[in-house]
């Protein structure tokens, strides 16, 4: 920031804080609580942000820019205050101002509740993308839902996960602005009537429907030092026409109450499922609600400045974040057909040039399929349109593959009473992308093979990325400063510069400084653990961290079974060579996912036994971090020595936690899955610990059989011992059956699942060997430091800035808008 600007900003900022504390709380600064100070500081910062926000949108209008709408059911934003300060490049000025007022920035940052409007990687990716879009100066809206309750807060009670509602809006969210002037009506139910208009055209009218008023709230997304502020627009539902005289007069009391209820429930809660689809009607309502509001608004906005709806694709792109917003294609068709009176062919052409789809998973339980009866009842006109899209597409298939029924079976949108949303998304989009190279290849060769054959030009890969501004500059200030001292600060805007750190991998002093910073970050995490878990951990032990959603395919179970194995070895042979290790887990399980919840209990039960066992001399500690979320994630990444990325090969589409660890100088132990493949390619095989089945091997077993976990159980006595401890009460003396469900899942098939469907026993020994190598490597301090530094240095590719540039180049075709080239407030 320029010195004179800074001074002015500082004085205004201070004045505003004093003013707001008075206005909101009738207090002086020294009387205000930290929470009150947080609000006052946030609002004062918003003053600056709003000004830039308005300038940005003026510029967008004047330049008549093309805009991407990133449609997503989830945006896992995390705290905004610290991030906004950083991106305004106002850190120094803010710190000075607060100090002069006697306010501690860290303390008030802690007062902000994380807006947790997302589950895991998919929602966090959306948040990183918004940061990059603003920083790079590309016009964009994020469109989502203003859930009243975001991701639940996780409490651990007696080792069990307990879900507590997260009413994040309780005290109000200081950064949002309600925009009722842009409200839209969204219609559900009723029936469709066809009428012939004066021009003799068939028109379709929805009647006897219920509707809600979708009201947008805008949240600013501040670019880093460029005065660009984009918008995250989240929609809330309000009742329409409630209890007005009209309704009573017409005896429509029932309908008025129903509409009230609909409005109240629709944005109530985020479904806490990651990579899993629950098929609930309310979820479909949520999807159509935010999609319809967003698309109606986007089209109206476009038409305010243009007169030819057929040129919409020149100015607008809708990016579908997974299948969740796929109704977009039908909603856009509806608007084009029913409101702008385009012919089917014209409307289809516009839609197909405007919509693009990202696939984030091959997990079959995550692929959305809606029962036709439910769908058509809720969205009768939208269903008609999908039915017609399907009819025409099936004709295309038949033309191309005459007599080949299997193609219809695999590709039709409507099949066996269901609507397959991924099929709809692919058929209607000009672009279909996976999120890491391996994942995209699997889509092309396996999961979406038939579509790839039919539309090869649509398929492309966009390997995920993360924003270095949050996950290094904000999350690891010590390392960020050190890097800037060594190579300058260009890495903040262009992460490829970080490669310059390779010059220091042979320099002992630099390596020592690098590891000293890791040590400080380990101390910071140890304090957090002491405070939250009451456990003392050895700072010199290896911090081995697995944080991510709990899912069987991510194999937290493999990790904890291995801990159980190590413990058995140590007990039998207390003198064995063993380098101390702290195994840290953090994970939420979906509320209804019983086996995942059992795994959390198992981790905690194992921890309770091992942590208390003095006979192993504190060589192993097991820590479960309660309520893993964006804010404590930043501490964890910064402190990690080892990054656990051990999913069953082929199942993790990309992963992004793997990149956050790498950026912070942790070394990966992992399978050749998702983006791990590219991480190893960048870091070099010697700077990672790779083990286990390849994705081809996994897929081959899945398709052709040939794996029986019982063979391993009966032949490997160490594994048998570990598994038997799941059913002999070793970790649950009062309830020996507590973990029987886990034991059974590893050894027996049932109606829907094979035994050990995620190949845990199959990969166990390979994992154990890789872990041994980790312990050996860690003891060569110099070599470890070099590897860790190389991980940071080779992380350039994994910036979300790079990912966004690729989306822009290949899919969105946006133009950069420059406002303040000086970069700073």
Contact residues for ligand NBG, defined by CB under 6 A: 120-122, 125, 274-275, 322, 360-361, 366, 435, 464, 652-656, 674
Alpha-carbon span 297 to 248, nearest angstrom: 31
Question: Which has the closest alpha carbon to 793: 351, 532, 496?
Answer: 496
Maximum Cα–Cα distance for the chain, whole Å?
A: 92
Q: How far apart are CA 755 and CA 776, in angstroms?
A: 33
Smallest distance, ligand NBG to C-beta of residue 314, A: 28
Instruction: Tell me the CA distances in angstroms from 714 to 575, 754, 769, one per residue in order.
Output: 28, 18, 20
Q: What is the number of alpha carbons within 13 Å of residue 388 lying toward its C-beta?
A: 15
Tell me the DSSP string of 260-273: HHHHHHHTSB----
Nearer to ligand NBG, 109 or 322 (CB): 322
Closest Cα partner for 755 from 712, 700, 816, 696?
712
Closest CB to ligand NBG among residues 128, 336: 128
CA distance linking residue 655 with residue 675, whole number of Å: 6
Return the structure tokens found at 37.
Answer: 């100070």
Contact 53, 230 (CB under 8 A): no
Cβ proximity to ligand NBG: between 274 and 768 the closer is 274
CB of 560 to ligand NBG, least distance (A): 21
CA dihedral (92, 223, 52, 46) in degrees, to 10, reads -60
- Choice between 657 and 709, CB closer to ligand NBG: 657
Residue of 326, 656, 668, 671 marked catalytic: 656
Whole-angstrom distance, CA of residue 577 vs CA of residue 566: 12
- Provide, rounded to whole angstroms, the least separation between the CB of residue 678 and ligand NBG: 12
CB of 655 to ligand NBG, least distance (A): 5
Angle at 419 between CA 415 and CA 424, to 5 degrees: 105
Residue 422 and residue 93: Cα distance in Å, rounded? 49
Other beta carbons within 10 Å of 95 = 15
Q: Which residues pair with 153 in a beta bridge?
A: 164
Which position among 554, 588, 619, 621 bears the catalytic label? 554
Whole-number minimum distance, CB 462 to ligand NBG, in Å? Answer: 9
| Nearest distance, CB of residue 496 and ligand NBG, angstroms | 21
> With respect to ligand NBG, which residue has the nearer C-beta, 237 or 366?
366
3-state secondary structure 600-618: HHHHHHHHHHHHHCHHHCC
Q: Which is closer to ligand NBG, CB of 274 or CB of 552?
A: 274
Which CB sits closer to ligand NBG, 570 or 795? 795
**Alpha-carbon span 543 to 538, nearest angstrom:** 9
548 catalytic per annotation? yes
Strand partners, 204: 194
The β-bridge partners of 156 are 161
3-state secondary structure of 401: coil
Find the shortest distance in angstroms from Cβ 418 to ligand NBG.
Answer: 19
Active site residue 360: yes
Catalytic hit among 462, 660, 762, 786: 660
Q: Using CA atoms, how far apart are residues 712 and 718, in angstroms rounded to an integer? A: 10
Give whichever of 120 and 144 is closer to ligand NBG, judged by the CB atom: 120
- What CA–CA distance (Å, rounded) separates 432 from 179? 33
- Which residues does 608 contact at the CB level (< 8 Å), separation at least 6? 159, 731
Q: Is 26 a catalytic residue?
A: no
CB of 658 to ligand NBG, least distance (A): 9
Residue 361 C-beta: closest distance to ligand NBG, Å: 4
User: What Rg, from alpha-carbon coordinates, does the chain have?
Assistant: 27
* Nearest-angstrom CA–CA distance, 561 and 734: 20
CB of 653 to ligand NBG, least distance (A): 4
Distance in angstroms (rounded) separating the CA atoms of residues 731 and 734: 9
Which residues lie closer than 8 Å to 264 by C-beta, 6 or more apart? 237, 239
Taking the complex as a whole, the smallest distance from the CB of residue 323 to ligand NBG amounts, in Å, to 9
CB of 666 to ligand NBG, least distance (A): 17
Tokens of 305: 């400045």
Cβ closest to ligand NBG, residue 82 vs residue 465 = 465
Give strand ranges (E) for 359-451: 369-371, 414-415, 418-420, 431-434
Q: Is 572 annotated in the active site?
A: no
Check 79, 146, 549, 551 and give the catalytic one. Answer: 549
Helix (H, G, I), strand (E, B) or coil at 532: helix
Please identify, using beta-carbon distances, which residue of 226 and 275 lies nearer to ligand NBG. 275
In whole angstroms, the minimum distance from the beta carbon of 753 to ligand NBG comes to 19
Catalytic residue among 10, 79, 233, 360: 360
DSSP string for residues in 290-347: HHHHHHHHHHHHHHHH-S-GGGHHHHEEEEEESSTTTHHHHHHHHIIIIIS---HHHH
Helix (H/G/I), strand (E/B), else coil: 423: helix
User: How many Cα atoms sit within 13 Å of 257 on the Cβ side?
Assistant: 5
Q: Choose between 596 and 712: whose C-beta lies nearer to ligand NBG.
A: 596
Structure tokens at 479: 């390392």
Rounded CA separation 736/752 (Å): 25
Nearer Cβ to ligand NBG (266/436): 436
Query: How would you class 172 by CB atoms within 10 Å of its CB: exposed for 0-12, middle for 13-18, buried for 19 or more?
Result: exposed
Sign of the Cα torsion 185, 190, 192, 195 reads: negative
Is 134 or 275 the residue whose CB approaches ligand NBG more closely? 275
Give catalytic residue positions.
360, 548-549, 554, 656, 660
């Amino acid at each position: 920031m320029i010195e004179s600007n800074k001074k002015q900003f500082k004085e205004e900022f201070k004045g505003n804080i004093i003013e707001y504390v008075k206005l909101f709380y009738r207090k002086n600064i020294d009387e205000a609580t930290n929470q009150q100070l947080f609000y006052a500081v946030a609002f004062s910062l918003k003053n600056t942000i709003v000004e830039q926000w308005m300038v940005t949108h003026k510029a967008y209008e004047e330049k008549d820019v093309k805009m991407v709408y990133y449609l997503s059911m989830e945006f896992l934003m995390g705290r905004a205050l610290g991030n906004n300060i950083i991106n305004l490049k106002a850190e120094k000025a803010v710190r000075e101002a607060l100090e002069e007022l006697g306010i501690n920035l860290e303390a008030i940052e802690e007062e902000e509740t994380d807006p947790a409007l997302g589950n895991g990687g998919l929602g966090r990716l959306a948040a990183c993308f918004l940061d990059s879009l603003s920083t790079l100066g590309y016009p964009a809206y994020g469109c989502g839902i203003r859930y009243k309750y975001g991701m639940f807060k996780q409490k651990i009670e007696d080792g069990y996960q307990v879900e507590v509602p997260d009413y994040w809006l309780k005290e109000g969210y200081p950064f949002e602005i309600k925009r009722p002037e842009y409200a839209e009506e969204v219609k559900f139910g009723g029936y469709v009537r066809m009428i012939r208009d004066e021009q003799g055209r068939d028109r379709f009218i929805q009647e006897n429907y219920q509707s809600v008023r979708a009201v947008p709230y805008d949240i600013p997304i501040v670019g880093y030092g460029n005065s660009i502020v984009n918008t995250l627009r989240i929609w809330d539902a309000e009742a329409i026409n409630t209890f007005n005289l009209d309704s009573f007069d017409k005896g429509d009391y029932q309908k008025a109450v129903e509409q009230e209820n609909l409005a109240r429930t629709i944005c109530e809660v985020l479904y806490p499922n990651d990579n899993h689809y629950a098929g609930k009607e309310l979820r479909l309502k949520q999807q159509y609600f935010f999609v319809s509001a967003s698309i109606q608004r986007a089209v109206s906005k476009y038409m305010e400045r243009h007169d030819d709806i057929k040129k919409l694709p020149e100015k607008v792109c809708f990016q579908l974040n997974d299948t969740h917003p796929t109704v977009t294609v039908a909603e856009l068709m509806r608007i084009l057909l029913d409101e702008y009176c385009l012919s089917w062919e014209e409307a289809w052409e516009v839609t197909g040039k405007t919509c693009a789809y990202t696939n984030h998973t091959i997990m079959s339980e995550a692929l959305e399929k809606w029962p036709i009866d439910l769908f058509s009842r809720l969205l009768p006109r939208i269903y008609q349109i999908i039915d017609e899209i399907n009819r025409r597409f099936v004709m295309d298939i038949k033309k191309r593959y005459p007599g080949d029924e299997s193609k219809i079976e695999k590709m039709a949108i409507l099949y066996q009473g269901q609507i397959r949303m991924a099929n709809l998304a692919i058929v209607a989009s000009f672009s279909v992308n996976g999120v890491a190279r391996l994942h995209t290849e699997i889509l092309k060769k396996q999961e979406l093979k038939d579509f790839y054959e039919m539309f090869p030009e649509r398929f492309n890969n966009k390997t995920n990325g993360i924003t270095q501004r949050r996950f290094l500059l904000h999350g690891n200030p010590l390392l960020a400063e050190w890097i800037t001292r060594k190579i300058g600060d260009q890495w903040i805007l262009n992460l490829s510069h970080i490669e310059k750190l390779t010059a220091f991998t042979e320099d002992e002093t630099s390596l020592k400084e690098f590891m000293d910073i890791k040590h400080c970050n380990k101390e910071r995490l140890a304090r957090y653990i002491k405070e939250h878990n009451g456990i003392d951990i050895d700072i010199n032990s290896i911090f081995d961290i697995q944080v991510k959603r709990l899912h069987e395919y991510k194999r937290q179970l493999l990790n904890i079974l291995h801990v159980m194995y190590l413990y058995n070895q140590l007990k039998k042979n207390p003198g064995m060579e063993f380098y101390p290790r702290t195994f840290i887990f953090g994970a939420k399980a979906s509320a209804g996912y019983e086996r995942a919840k059992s795994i959390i209990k198992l981790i905690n039960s194992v921890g309770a036994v091992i942590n208390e066992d003095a006979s192993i001399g504190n060589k192993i500690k097991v820590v479960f971090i309660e309520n893993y979320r964006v804010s404590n994630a930043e501490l964890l990444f910064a402190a990690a020595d080892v990054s656990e990325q051990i999913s069953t090969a082929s199942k993790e589409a990309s992963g992004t936690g793997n990149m956050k660890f790498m950026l912070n100088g942790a070394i990966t132990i992992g399978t050749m899955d998702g983006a791990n493949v590219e991480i190893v390619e960048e870091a070099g095989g010697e700077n990672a610990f790779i083990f286990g089945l390849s994705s081809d091997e996994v897929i081959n077993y899945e398709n052709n059989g040939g794996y029986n976990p019982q063979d391993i159980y009966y032949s490997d006595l160490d594994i048998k011992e570990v598994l038997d401890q799941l059913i002999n009460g070793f970790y649950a003396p009062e309830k020996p059956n507590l973990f029987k469900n886990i034991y059974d899942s590893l050894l027996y098939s049932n109606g829907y699942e094979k035994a050990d469907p995620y190949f845990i026993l199959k990969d166990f020994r390979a994992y154990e060997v890789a872990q041994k190598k980790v312990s050996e490597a860690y003891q060569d301090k110099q070599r470890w430091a070099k590897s860790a530094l190389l991980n940071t240095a080779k992380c350039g590719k994994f910036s979300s800035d790079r990912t966004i540039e690729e989306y822009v180049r290949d899919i969105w075709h946006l133009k950069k808008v420059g406002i303040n080239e000086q970069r700073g407030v």
